[in-house]
Amino acid sequence: MRTTTGWLANSPTTLRRASLNRRDLRPDDLAVRIDYCGVCHSDLHALHDYDHSADAPLVPGHEFTGVVTETGPEVSAFTVGDRVAVGNIVDSCGICAMCAAGQENFCHSFPTLTYGGTDRQDGSTTLGGFSRDYVVRDTFAYRLPSGLDPAAAAPLLCAGVTVWEPLRSLGVGRGSRVAVAGLGGLGHLAVRMAVALGATTTVISRTPDKRDDARRLGAHDLVDSTDTRQMAATRDTFDVVIDTISAPHDLAPYLKLVALDGTLSLLGHLGPVTVEATDLLVGRKKLSSAGSGGRRSTAEMLQFCADNGIAADIEVLPSTQVNTALDRLRRNDVRYRFVLDMSDLD
Ligand SMILES: [Zn+2]
Ligand SMILES: [Zn+2]
């Protein structure tokens, strides 16, 4: 075992600094010194749902960038000193139909999550990226393209790829009309990517004072979701509606915005939803979802972002302020992603 330092669940809302164990390197493992780790809504949920009396230790964090510090003897794609990024999955079965299709995120035997997952070899519980070091199988680390800022790139590994896969699989490109509902961690990246793909892009927000931000991100318009007149005026308009709203909400007003044969892609809130079938019937509309990304599309997304100057809008905090970041994220008080600087853990 090797030891490192990180932030361990201490209560339903807070973390505390602690010493952590990492496995010794297997032949195909990398050791990564984590420099920056984004703070994701999933981290809040994991902490909230954590049972101290029954569960294995919890260290959140699943979108990070850093530098390779050691490689196992079978690693050929990386060398010490390489800049790398790791997202929210760190292993998969490698042989099922989903893995064969390059969609390790949908692995039939469930992908190994970066934290709170079960290691496929030793059965241990994975501990996440709110720490100084991580040990990861080489195939689930990604080379960080030059030109990407390592802090602003960290959120691409969860928030970024989560919006990238549906944009790509739904064929968004030049001439597409895209709406992004909710302008937060996911939404602001969806806007940047949709614009860079060539789509005419509109933000749907209940916060009209984000209009300037929407324009700065490249959006062509902002529709105030609380204004029924504005919502009615954009009925049946968008080929793709990317719904990143994290709280439970009525889908009907957003389905109304979808154009004939278009798709509402639900990404922010994962849980039961109620849909009136006629809201799909009228206009042959489709309801879809997605999350995380396969290895191929994650690498493709990183290169696209490097080529198009896309990264997250971030507020960097020293990792000692992780509890402040969690608290403010809970109140949606961030534009648009917190990133923790792990250098204070040395
Ligand atoms: Zn995440
Ligand atoms: Zn699989």
Tens-digit pLDDT profile for residues 17-44: 999 999 999 999 999 999 999 999 999 9
161 C-alpha to ligand 1 centroid (Å): 10
Residue 91 alpha carbon to ligand 2 centre in Å: 9
User: Average pLDDT for residues 322-328, to the nearest whole number?
Assistant: 98
Taking the CA of 63 as reference, the closest ligand is 1
Question: How many whole angstroms from 97 Cα to the centroid of ligand 2?
Answer: 7
Between the CA of 63 and the centroid of ligand 1 the distance, in Å, is 7
- Ligand closest to CA 268: 1
At the top level of CATH, the class of 160-289 is: alpha beta
| Number of the ligand closest to the Cα of 95 | 2
Q: Which residue's entry shows tokens 């292993």?
A: 91
| Whether the predicted pLDDT of 84 surpasses 90 | yes
- How far, in Å, from the CA of 61 to the mean position of ligand 1? 8
Q: Which ligand is nearest to the CA of 292?
A: 1
Ligand nearest to the CA of 159: 1
Which ligand gives the minimal distance to the CA of 293? 1
Average pLDDT, the chain: 97
Which ligand is nearest to the Cα of residue 102, counting in written order?
2
pLDDT in tens, 185-206: 999 999 999 999 999 999 999 9
Does residue 79 have a pLDDT over 90? Answer: yes
Q: Point out the ligand nearest to the CA of residue 158.
A: 1
CA of 300 to the centre of ligand 1 (A): 18
What separation in Å is there between the alpha carbon of 95 and the centre of ligand 2? 5
In the reported structure, the alpha carbon of residue 86 is separated from the centroid of ligand 2 by a whole-number distance in angstroms of 18
Helix residue ranges per DSSP H, the chain: 41-48, 97-100, 150-153, 159-169, 185-197, 211-216, 228-233, 252-255, 277-281, 295-308, 322-330
Residue entry with tokens 């009209």: 208
Q: Supply φ then ψ for residue 225, to 5 degrees.
A: -70, -15
Ligand 2 center to residue 7 CA distance, Å? 30
pLDDT tier at 318 (50, 70, 90 boundaries)? very high
Do 291 and 265 touch, CB atoms closer than 8 A? Answer: no
Pairwise CA distance, residues 20 & 134, whole Å = 10
Distance 41 CA to ligand 1 centre (A): 6
- Say yes or no to pLDDT of 55 above 90: no
Residues 213-226: pLDDT tens digits?
999 999 999 999 99
How far is the C-alpha of 196 from the C-alpha of 307, rounded, in Å?
Answer: 10
**What's the CATH fold of domain 2-155+312-345?**
Quinone Oxidoreductase; Chain A, domain 1 (3.90.180)
Q: Is 96 exposed, middle or buried (0-12, 13-18, 19+ CB in 10 A)?
A: middle
Binned at pLDDT 50, 70 and 90, residue 130 comes out as very high
Where in the chain are the domains? 2-155+312-345, 160-289
Count, in order, helices (H) and strands (E) of the chain.
11, 17
**Is the pLDDT score of 292 beyond 90?**
yes
Residue 147's pLDDT band (boundaries 50, 70, 90)? very high
| pLDDT recorded at residue 173 | 98
Ligand nearest to the CA of 295: 2
How far does residue 229's CA lie from ligand 1's centre (Å)? Answer: 34
Q: Mean pLDDT, to the nearest integer, of 318-328?
A: 98
Cβ atoms within 10 Å, residue 166: 22
- pLDDT of 12 > 90? The answer is no
pLDDT attached to residue 52: 84
Instruction: Give the pLDDT of residue 113.
Output: 98
Per the CB < 8 A criterion, the answer to whether 163 and 310 are in contact is no
pLDDT at 53 over 90: no
In the predicted model, what is the mean pLDDT of residues 63-82? Answer: 98
Nearest ligand (C-alpha, residue 186): 1
Structure token pair of residue 141: 């680390």
- Residue 54's pLDDT is 81
Predicted pLDDT at 69: 98
CB neighbours of residue 233 within 10 Å? 10
pLDDT at 235 over 90: yes
| Residue 228 alpha carbon to ligand 1 centre in Å | 32
Which bound ligand lies closest to the C-alpha atom of 99?
2
What letter represents residue 218's amino acid?
G
pLDDT at 45 (0 to 100): 93
Q: How far is ligand 2, taken at its centre, from the CA of residue 120, in Å? A: 12
Rounded to the nearest angstrom, the distance between the alpha carbon of 43 and the centre of ligand 1 is 7
Q: What is the mean pLDDT of residues 144-168?
A: 98
Asked if residue 147 lies in contact with residue 306, where contact means CB atoms within 8 angstroms, the answer is yes
